[in-house]
A and B are shown apart, each in its own frame.
Chain A
């Protein structure tokens, strides 16, 4: 590779690109610090054909395919992984667990590692879509350092299928500058009522049955996980009434919240943290009725084409130093106390990442039945098609 002392480093470039993409810096700043030549050099070095052959001796292949969530990984970590092992990370981004399951069910996904949420793992095991993990190949996984509440769903019938990556909550983000003096909403009831009134045309929900139906159920005080036909009918009525007032149905809501097109959105912890960091007027609310508490996992697909690279990537991401960098980037809490010890103390006090106990206690983990229940699936499809 050419001497690039006078140019921006690859890591800095990616960091700047992410900042630019999120709207934190202007295009002028972005072009200024990177320069077109540097950008071309970096993009060129990302082409597999142009990469040096020296790494091939690592023996895990030149690529690993990851299926994950939006705004969930620090690209600099992937760059470092590729530099150390020669395996470039190909990431596919998804908006719902249902979409992930559908891809794996259809077969031929080509995925190695994927990031399922707690309530889906038993279904992946029942459907034979996930590999049992050989923990001896993941030395960075130390069960004792993980909070059992978040790590346990990865184990089904005594066999570990998935290791803990993050946990978080599902609340909503609200742009308080748009409240016009009205008090900040604190409940799901207010979320939906404002959507149909003062925030009409400015509110977003996920393209995801679990959170969209679940938080509509919370309007009536029902369980987030309900599959009761009468309760689902109430939720459907609310969703249909609210639909004409929504700005969009999309799980990637950061761009619209940043541009000011949307003022309120159903939101996950890390997105709320990222939005709030850059635009302090965007605040995160956990509905007082409750909602979702979740944990995500790293797992290997049954027919993973690059299993060695998959184990290497999981082990790399669980390295406490790497994982701490991930947390600094995405703002989701982790269940690994070795990582928590590496984080800046003020982060551990952050009310978005670590909400007060009285806000956490009414939250529910998603239930496996919601993933497969045909009525919830069809309700969501009807809501979108209406």
Chain B
């Protein structure tokens, strides 16, 4: 069998899968976005730009998503980095596997059930009542942007910990010894060696969390009480309540476009930052 034929055959399953599961649905969504809503909802073919001109009515949802998704990613990173650093650099070897498993354990339960637990914890009978009992006021936590950020950081933390951990684990420890021999204080070798060398992991983790967050709808729906609205919630609403599929399709196309632009800009930025070590993975 010729090399080319064999390659083509090997690529066929994945290619067919991508075509059927990604390209075709995206084409359908794109076509729908130019149509109009049927009398009882649904889709009526057409060609007009009114759905795109109406995007302004969902500005708040875009704004919430573009604020809370980067913020959630940043907090995830701030929480995950020291944890990953400890696991890779400081944790005793015999505990390492156990600690890594503990990071992943929450994934064994559905995010839905874990978010319900947060509904209770953040509700009036949970943390606020404990704070009240020790005289620290009675703050409203549930159904606020704060609750949504808590849910996001809790739900997505492992996705950030692992890429950062891997990049730190792979770091050649002799570089740190050399820096120390040459008189660099620890903070300096961290800033000049450890941090730059872990950037590929930081970039990968941030992209993983950020991309998933841009499409998130479950956590805002459960912990935001229907008041902290992401683009994902707007999509659920347009398809499953008001049945305006064409407008929903236009919102979806816009979300994909915004995401691609942000990811492209981010990749360019991190690649420059990481210099020639262009193993910024993921894409």
Contacts and interface: CB of A to CB of B under 8 A. Distances in A.
Nearest to B40: A372
Nearest to B120: A259
Contacts of A98: 240-243
Contacts of A256: 123
A372 B143 CA distance: 30
A249 B226 contact: yes
A101 interface: yes
B271 interface: no
Interface stretch (A191-199, A344-352, A376-384): A376-384
B123 A249 contact: no
B37 A374 contact: yes
Nearest to B119: A255
Best-surrounded residue of A105, A123, A126 (most CB of chain B within 10 A): A105
A207 interface: yes
Contacts of B225: 246-250
Nearest to A260: B124
A126 B140 CA distance: 47
Contact of B242 (A103, A259, A377, A386): A377
Nearest to A248: B225
Interface string A236-271: 000000010011111000011001110000000000
A127 interface: yes
Contacts of B57: 378, 382, 385
Contacts of B123: 256, 259, 261
B226 A377 contact: no
A248 B58 contact: no
B32 interface: no
A201 interface: yes
Interface in A206-223: 207, 209
B48 to A, nearest CB: 15
B168 interface: no
Contacts of B145: none
Interface stretch (B66-74, B102-110, B231-239): B231-239
Given A249-B227, A381-B237, A384-B233, A102 B125 contact: no
Contact of B226 (A105, A123, A371, A384): A384
Contact of A248 (B39, B40, B143): B143
A248 B143 CA distance: 7
A127 B38 CA distance: 11
Contacts of A260: 124-125
Interface in A88-115: 96, 98-99, 101-103, 105-106
Given A250-B226, A260-B124, A101 B243 contact: yes
Nearest to B126: A259
B244 interface: yes
Given A372-B40, A385-B61, A386-B60, A243 B227 contact: yes
B76 interface: no
Contacts of A255: 119
Contacts of B60: 385-386
A209 B143 contact: no
Nearest to A123: B40
Given A250-B225, A259-B123, A260-B125, 17 more contacts: A96-B241, A102-B239, A102-B241, A105-B40, A105-B243, A209-B242, A249-B225, A255-B119, A256-B123, A261-B123, A372-B40, A374-B37, A377-B241, A377-B244, A380-B242, A385-B58, A385-B229
Interface of A: 96, 98-99, 101-103, 105-106, 123, 126-127, 201, 207, 209, 243, 246-250, 255-256, 259-261, 371-372, 374, 377-378, 380-382, 384-386
23 contacts: A96-B241, A99-B240, A101-B41, A103-B240, A105-B41, A106-B239, A207-B226, A209-B241, A209-B242, A247-B143, A247-B225, A249-B225, A259-B123, A259-B124, A371-B40, A372-B41, A377-B41, A377-B241, A378-B57, A381-B238, A381-B244, A385-B61, A385-B234
Interface of B: 37, 39-42, 57-58, 60-61, 119, 123-125, 140, 142-143, 225-227, 229, 233-234, 237-244
Sorted nearest first, the 9 A-B pairs with minimum C-beta distance are: A248-B225, A249-B226, A377-B242, A261-B124, A372-B40, A381-B242, A102-B240, A98-B241, A385-B61
